[in-house]
Amino acid sequence: MIEVMLLESLSVAALIVALVCAVVRPFGRPEAVFAVPAAALVIVTGAIPLDDVRDEAARLGPVIGFLAAVLVLAKLCDDEGLFRACGTWTARWARHRPRRLLGSVFALASVVTAALSLDATVVLLTPVVFATATRMGTSARPHAYACAHLSNTASLLLPVSNLTNLLAFTATGLSFTRFALLMLLPWVAAIAVEYVVFRRYFAADLDAPTDDDGADERPEVPLFALVTVAATLAGFAVASAADVDPAWAAAAGAAVMAVRALARRHTTPTAIVRSAGLPFLAFVLALGVVVRAVVDNGLGDALGHALPDGTSLPALLGTAALAAVLANLINNLPAVLALTPIAAASGPGAVLAVLIGVNIGPNLTYAGSLATLLWRRITHHHEHDVRLREFTVLGLLTVPAALLVSTLALWASLGVLGT
């Protein structure tokens, strides 16, 4: 009994250390510097058997491969000028009107998040939004916060939009297109709630006069990058229908862009490898091992009692709410790893409700998702003042309403389309 309690305490301590260091990043070191030793500790002490470590590595392997490919694809698209062109398009559409710019940013961030994952929105689109707002002579606040919120909320749509979706996709048992169809209405509903709240909350910023000196600039269309991204998205659906892992489609898209960039000497092999984010990939694998140890040593039983059974509307609402709370307590990646195996027993609808909770919930606190933490660092780099109070107030205004509306939409989609 004492040994079991020690293993439970050790696993929880390892998870806390990994997460706190991911948030704080002591000495500026990558997340993996602390997560990998934490994973090694739970393995060496026997908190997780080696067979379970191998199982977890096999389960996360395709997810990590996909993430690496998408990060490379997004970076190479940025090198081609895709995101700069998007910024110019939004400025032309806004035409001196901050409210129209907000609508453009919402549309653009939602599409980029869904197609290229939330990392592309945070790392590549956010700086473009800052530059666009500055060029228009308008406040960047509403548009920057929109990037943060939509990097989470708009990642509901596709299995490839968020690492949390990838981790849970296999457990749903759904095809790529079926997943997208079921999540389409919740995706639209959640984004609509965010947009309504942002329009009212930032009314003063959006009504201020502007001095736009770039609305007539014509962007150079990065046609090759656009076609490659479209083909890669189509490849996800085809791969899913053929029972092929989506990671292969992502790798193909990244390879096409990489060959072109290398042939034109716009990049180097070293830069391509660096853009894959190897330290972050190691962090994801190590975190998966630590979370598995925590779940197997007590957390799984506790969550099993707390998580509602079935896919009735009250059960879906309870599942989404619990997932949102857990995401803000221990981050959304550990939350989805812990909840997905339990929710899967109730069917695909319950797993999708978990995703609603872990994707929308992190807009409530900085620690809810790594994407939000990364966004915060980027805003500081651009000398934009991010206030904890304002971030929290926005979260309180959007998260409960978006959770409610999107879960209702999921329940309706399940009723109409089935699983």
Residue by residue, DSSP assigns 90-122 as HHHHHTT-HHHHHHHHHHHHHHHHHHH-HHHII
Least confident segment among 276-280, 310-314, 372-376: 372-376
Residue with tokens 């959007």: 398
Quick one: which of 178, 170, 168, 175 has its CA closest to 359? Answer: 168
Name the residue with higher pLDDT: 93 or 337.
337
Name the residue with higher pLDDT: 363 or 115.
363
Between the alpha carbon of residue 411 and those of residues 59, 178, 225, 323, the distances in Å are: 29, 15, 37, 16
pLDDT of residue 138: 82
Q: Which amino acid is at 119?
A: D
Mean per-residue pLDDT, 301-329: 91
Q: Helix-strand-coil percent breakdown of the chain, rounded to 5?
A: 80, 0, 20
Helix (H) or strand (E) holding 49: none
pLDDT of residue 218: 66
Tokens coding 239: 């791969």
Query: Is residue 396 left, alpha or beta, with left meaning phi > 0 and alpha meaning psi from -120 to 50?
Result: alpha
pTM: 0.83
Which residues, including other chains, have CB under 8 Å from residue 376's CB and lie 6 or more apart?
148, 366, 386
Least confident segment among 94-103, 206-215, 303-312, 382-391: 206-215
Residue 3 Cα to chain centre, angstroms: 37
Contact yes or no for 224/80 (Cβ under 8 A):
yes
Quick one: which of 411, 394, 401 has its CA closest to 324? Answer: 401
Q: How many CB atoms lie within 10 A of CB 204?
A: 10
Per-residue pLDDT tens digits for 204-254: 888 876 665 555 566 677 889 889 988 988 888 788 777 788 888 889 999
**Average pLDDT over the chain, rounded to an integer:** 86
Which residues, including other chains, have CB under 8 Å from residue 70's CB and lie 6 or more apart?
116, 117, 119, 120, 160, 250, 254
Least confident segment among 32-46, 71-85, 86-100, 135-149: 86-100
pLDDT of residue 374: 74
Residue with tokens 């339990």: 342
pLDDT of residue 233: 83
Helix (H) or strand (E) holding 222: none
Name the residue with higher pLDDT: 75 or 211.
75
Between the alpha carbon of residue 127 and those of residues 79, 109, 124, 131, 344, the distances in Å are: 14, 12, 6, 6, 38
